[in-house]
Structure 1
Amino acid sequence: DDKTGFKIKKSKLRGVASNGMLCGASEIDLVDDIDGLLELPEDAPVGTDIREYLGLDNQILDISITPNRGDCFSVRGIAREISVINDLPVQLPEIPDNVVASDNGATPAVTVDAVEACPRYLLQSISNIDRSIDTPKWMQDALVQSGLRSHNFLVDMTNYVLMELGQPLHAFDADTIEGDIVVRLAQPDETITLLNEQTVTLTGDELVIADDKGALALAGVMGGQRSSVTDSTTNIVVESAFFNQLAIAARARRFGLHTDASQRFERGVDFELPKLALARACDLITTITGGEAGQIVTAE
């Protein structure tokens, strides 16, 4: 291969002549659905370049971003930067302004007690999501080529919007939320079990998302296990917010965490981005899975 300098040629393995090489999906940066060799469909044309057939013949830019350029932690941000430098137009995804809201799945009311730490907080419920639908191949490919593993559609969708627009999102299982949502500072010695199954004891200066029962998420860092989305979740509430950099900085590190969300919030996220990202997420979910969007609740 001219690009890698690695050439597959006829050779003997354990005394047996081999004319080729077999590999698994993960070895060529594809989604690894099975633990074993990658099997092509019966109608795969023999002799076709595998890069062309599997859509691997593309370009990936690996860019080091300095901490002061939080606006470049996304495809949208890099595209905008390149367009300014080279005086080129930017091609942004088409995002509907509003998805028609259904009466199903009422969005919880939101109160923000820590306004300085969270001056903008948006929630939207999406119900009756068809979980039998897998993540589309184009989305899986985009995530894998961005260095992220594909999980299930709801997780993949939030990761996709994160990489595309730069806005961290979080999806709660709507059926696990008790009462209304409050964005507040943690209570001293309050505990929360996070998505990674780590239970942390909060000191009181961390920002949390809570319901009537207690903390649901460590804001801007990681969600909690109690309200986590599972493979059987069909009703969700999507969070899209602006968290102040100083309210998030060092909180993840305190608990030995480093997440894609904290990485961006610590560097600064566009104040106008939460509404756009929520519209993008809602459009993707309703279009791909047939979910029904509820009203957007905004607190600012």
Structure 2
Amino acid sequence: MAVRFFGQFLIEKGYLTMEQLARAVSLQESQNHRFGDLAVQMGLLSPEDVRHVIQAQRRIDLPFGETARYLGLIDESAVEKVLSAQKTNRLQLGEAAARLGFMTTEVVSRALEEFWAEEMSQAVSIPPLPPDLPHHAVVQALLGIVSRQIVRFVGQPVRYGQGERAGAEAIRWDGMGCRIRLTGSADGWLLFLVPSDLAARIAGQMLGLRPEELSSEMPEEGLKEFVNIVAGHWSSHDVHGEAGPDIGFPEMTSFPLSMESASGVLVPAHTPLQSFALGFFSVRKAG
């Protein structure tokens, strides 16, 4: 299954005609200024700088602002100023359709709810895992989900070839969970978030702890072993793609997640066109 965008959904469900969608998209394009154009208007970049960044983006798979910063043409505070200006004046597709009188705001809200409900109903999941399942098998199951999600939403399998090897430096832990940076898709870097509650369960299992003995914090020793296992799995392959700076997660839509299972999202960090959520998955443990 390929990625389906909100505009496609509106056509499929009869909310908009092709002509109406084209007009709404055209209005969006006229209202939503590109980063480079805004930076020039704000006096932060010159037109020549913009051309230089665009050329660099052909070999550096980063958003415009990050590429400009990487090239030393702009600093982080300036990037934030431009991004803030973009957000302030950003027109969403549903808002454009409503402004043109094609949909009411109530209908737009309902359509968005239906769209995300359908997306989440396509969740990729695995059966409950036995409590005594070896932790290598648990990690392998999680990595299998990543590959299936890429195939399902991007429409192509993970490609292995000559390139940089993923290692422990590609894995970070914070309060949200364990971030695993992967390559393998034509869309660029992929980031796999293992939520904190699930990662804590896995780490606790490695230490032989029972579920009732786990706290909300990741057991440090278990985390190290978890990271080593995941890094070891990926470093055993030549991962296609070039190494890039550790630039973290893009902003992404928040989804209502089930409180009955550990859940998360898989996100391509920086694609040539945009960042978007690939999908939703859940992993449950029995007992």
Task: Confirm or deny a common fold (TM above 0.5).
Answer: no
Greater RCO structure (CA 8 Å; 6+ sep): 1
- Structure with the larger helix share: 2
TM-score (normalizing by structure 1): 0.28
TM-score (normalizing by structure 2): 0.29
